[in-house]
Structure 1
């Protein structure tokens, strides 16, 4: 399969089970996720670490879904949320999504929430967990 855009390099053998080869071999496959090269992933991580507001975070989530097909959900954990580690940040599993990306994107979001705690409070409030206290 030939693509008109640069695609992510293949991970070393045995390091990743992303299914990149299967995706490239499928003519009907959604190859948008392969546009996330290592350089582009670094830019994305830097952007997620420097989010400015809850709206900014939600805009980034929708852009990742639209441009890369990467669906990221952020929900409060089942227990008490005392730190940003109390949030469940999950990326929908899909072919071509590198396991490293599955780790770095949630970590970058956590660093961004840690840097700007008011975004974490706004996220909790949007789930009505604070009951309108703030």
Structure 2
């Protein structure tokens, strides 16, 4: 077991994150397990209150560095007329809860609804941080 607090196990059948297999793998990347439920709530709150595209990129880099969570943000191949045209993908990885993979894009979308200038900036840079 890692010396830092790790995320508690999801109820049986509620998630397919592979937490147990990750803990048993001596070469597994355990960083994602540092995201406890309390830390996840703070992260989601932070993502909901983005100030700018630079702020989003900074958080994206910190999530990858500290937790190994990778995001891809891009535009739909069709014409973008609303926030629905912006695609936010959290890449699957062992130990990352299914609900967390859904909560992160939802929090970012809520932030984009509050601050449409960030969505416009995403569109201005071509919409892609990483290839989808």
- Same fold at TM > 0.5: yes
The alignment's C-alpha RMSD in Å is 0.9
Distance 1:31 1:93 in 2: 14
Within 5 Å, give how 1:64-103 maps onto structure 2.
64-103=63-102
* Matched residue, 2:55: 56
The normalised TM-score by structure 1 is 0.92
* Matched residue, 1:40: 39
Distance 2:93 2:2 in 1: 19
Unpaired stretches in structure 1, ≥5 consecutive residues: 129-134
* Matched residue, 1:132: none
Unpaired stretches in structure 2, ≥5 consecutive residues: 128-132
1:126 Cα deviation from its structure 2 partner: 0.7
Q: Aligned to 1:78, what secondary structure does the other structure show?
A: coil
Distance 2:101 2:25 in 1: 22
Over residues 80-105 of structure 1, what are the superposed CA-to-partner deviations in whole Å (9 max), with x where a residue is unaligned?
22221211100111100000101100
* Matched residue, 1:29: 28
Q: How many residues align?
A: 127
The runs of at least 4 consecutive aligned structure 1 residues that moved more than 4 Å come to: none
